[in-house]
């Protein structure tokens, strides 16, 4: 395709697939980014094991994905031939799920003779705030992203499509992982984050002293393993006995407050490291935690920057963000007068650092 044939938007809607962990999702976005339809199926076969089992997740994606895609097309009132672009999370994530989702998407793109865009799952989270109408006043570059989920905890300077600087990240557990592990210690099951937040509402966040790892240290790295160990020590005297409800609630509230305090402290440092940022964006499942969100809003207000967090349905893993990242990639290629991206030859990457996206538009290949 020649430069003169390129457009800022694809010739038809984008069909996007997300399968990097235990959500099987599909969304269809109009070329302007409006969501025409979306479906998300949260797999329910993992709770018994206390966490996501990669093999079970991959098999579930394989079984669920065809029906989810058909349902999304039906809801949008579209036929496969109407699709102008196909996209899928191609990393980072669980390799089995990535293989299923990206393989399905590539096959569909090949059958329809349309381009396929491989989407970095973390980049999709990073760009979600730019969805049309999501953030009042828009989300122009640059802005500071806090990504907090079960698998990620990092501060990122988002300077443009494909232009990211990691300012800091966790040196052990992710925040969501810490929530799930502490919830399990408290007998709340998995996934534990929402259950822990609910229990914490009954407790006193100042009742039980807990450490604040890396508090007021330079930089904006995170650490939660010491906090998790402190919880285990508080629980040790009870052995296998049932915990008193009041104690469990106080411990949950105190843990949640400690996490919020640590994240707020790290964000203050990150904002100092990125003085050009006028917007703080929180994304990922943990960004839905009301206590954490309130602390982040306070941090942003005191720093004189806006704060934004997507609604819960777009904080957790979803295909809308995947489709939007593909559209942003398409538009950036057009802006740079590069050929339309087509990543059919790209293999899934269980590890795909966000910083690697700097080469995205250096390696873009013409559509076959």
Q: Does the annotation flag 147 for ligand binding?
A: yes
- Rounded to whole angstroms, the Cα distance separating 255 from 244 reads 16
Name the packing angle between helices 193-200 and 245-273 (round to 10°).
110
Nearest alpha-carbon partner for 40 in 20, 13, 12, 10: 20
Q: Does the annotation flag 193 for ligand binding?
A: yes
Domain 3-127+315-359 and domain 142-309, same fold? Reply is: yes
Question: pLDDT 10s digit of each residue in the chain, 368 long?
Answer: 333 344 577 889 999 999 998 899 999 999 999 999 999 998 776 666 666 788 888 999 999 999 999 999 999 999 999 999 999 999 999 999 999 999 999 999 999 999 999 999 999 999 999 999 999 999 999 999 999 987 789 999 999 999 999 999 999 988 988 999 999 999 997 778 899 999 999 999 999 999 999 999 999 999 999 999 999 999 999 998 999 999 999 999 999 999 999 999 999 999 999 999 999 999 988 988 999 999 999 999 999 999 999 888 888 889 999 999 999 999 999 999 988 888 999 999 999 999 899 888 876 554 44
Q: Does the annotation flag 180 for ligand binding?
A: yes
Partner residues linked to 222 by β-bridges: 170
Q: According to CATH, what is the number of the domain 3-127+315-359?
A: 3.30.420.40
What are the boundaries of each domain within the chain?
3-127+315-359, 142-309
Nearest alpha-carbon partner for 193 in 173, 206, 211, 175: 175
Q: Does the annotation flag 18 for ligand binding?
A: no
Place of tokens 């440092």: 269
Superfamily in which the 142-309 domain is placed by CATH: ATPase, nucleotide binding domain (3.30.420.40)
Backbone angles phi, psi at 191, to 5 degrees: -70, 140
Record the tokens describing residue 67, joined without a space: 């029906």
Q: Does the annotation flag 39 for ligand binding?
A: no
Q: Does the annotation flag 317 for ligand binding?
A: yes
Name the packing angle between helices 225-235 and 245-273 (round to 10°).
170
Q: Does the annotation flag 203 for ligand binding?
A: no
DSSP state letter for 84: -
Backbone angles phi, psi at 95, to 5 degrees: -60, -40
Q: Does the annotation flag 318 for ligand binding?
A: no
- Rounded to whole angstroms, the Cα distance separating 265 from 229 reads 21
Q: Provide the phi-psi class of 123: left if phi over 0, else alpha when psi is between -120 and 50, else beta.
A: alpha
- Rounded to whole angstroms, the Cα distance separating 29 from 18 reads 14
Helix, strand, coil percentages (3-state) for the chain, rounded to 5, are 45, 15, 40
Q: Does the annotation flag 101 for ligand binding?
A: no
Q: Does the annotation flag 148 for ligand binding?
A: yes
Record the tokens describing residue 321, joined without a space: 């963000």
């Amino acid at each position: 395709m020649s430069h003169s044939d390129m457009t800022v938007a694809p010739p038809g809607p984008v069909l996007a697939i997300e399968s990097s962990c235990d959500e099987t999702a599909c969304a269809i976005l109009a070329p302007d980014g409006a969501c025409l339809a979306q479906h998300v199926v949260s797999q329910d076969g993992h709770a018994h094991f206390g966490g996501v089992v990669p093999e079970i997740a991959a098999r579930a994606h394989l079984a669920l994905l065809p029906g989810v895609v058909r349902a999304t097309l039906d809801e949008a009132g579209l036929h496969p031939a109407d699709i102008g672009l196909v996209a899928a999370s191609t990393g980072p994530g669980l390799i089995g799920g990535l293989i299923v989702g990206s393989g399905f998407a590539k096959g569909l793109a090949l059958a329809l003779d349309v381009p396929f865009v491989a989407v970095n799952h973390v980049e999709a989270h990073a760009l979600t705030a730019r969805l049309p109408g999501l953030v009042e006043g828009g989300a122009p570059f640059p802005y500071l992203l806090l990504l907090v989920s079960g698998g990620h905890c990092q501060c990122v300077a988002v300077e443009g499509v494909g232009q990211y600087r990691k300012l800091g990240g966790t040196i052990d557990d992710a925040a969501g992982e810490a929530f799930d592990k502490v919830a399990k210690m408290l007998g709340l099951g998995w996934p534990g984050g929402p259950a822990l937040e609910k229990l914490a509402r009954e407790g006193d966040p100042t009742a039980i002293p807990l450490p604040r790892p890396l508090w007021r240290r330079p930089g904006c790295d995170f650490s939660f393993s010491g906090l998790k160990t402190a919880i285990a020590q508080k629980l040790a005297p009870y052995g296998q006995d049932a915990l008193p409800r009041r104690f469990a609630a106080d411990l949950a509230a105190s843990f949640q407050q400690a996490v919020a305090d640590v994240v707020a402290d790290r964000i203050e440092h990150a904002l100092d490291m990125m003085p050009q940022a006028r917007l703080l964006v929180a994304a990922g499942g943990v960004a839905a935690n009301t206590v954490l969100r309130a602390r982040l809003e306070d941090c942003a207000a005191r720093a004189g920057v806006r704060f934004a967090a997507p609604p819960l349905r777009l904080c957790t893993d979803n295909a809308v963000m995947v489709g939007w990242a593909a559209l942003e990639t398409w538009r950036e290629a057009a802006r740079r007068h590069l050929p339309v991206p087509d990543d059919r030859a790209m293999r899934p990457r269980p590890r795909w650092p966000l910083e690697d996206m700097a080469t995205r538009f250096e390696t873009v290949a013409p559509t076959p």
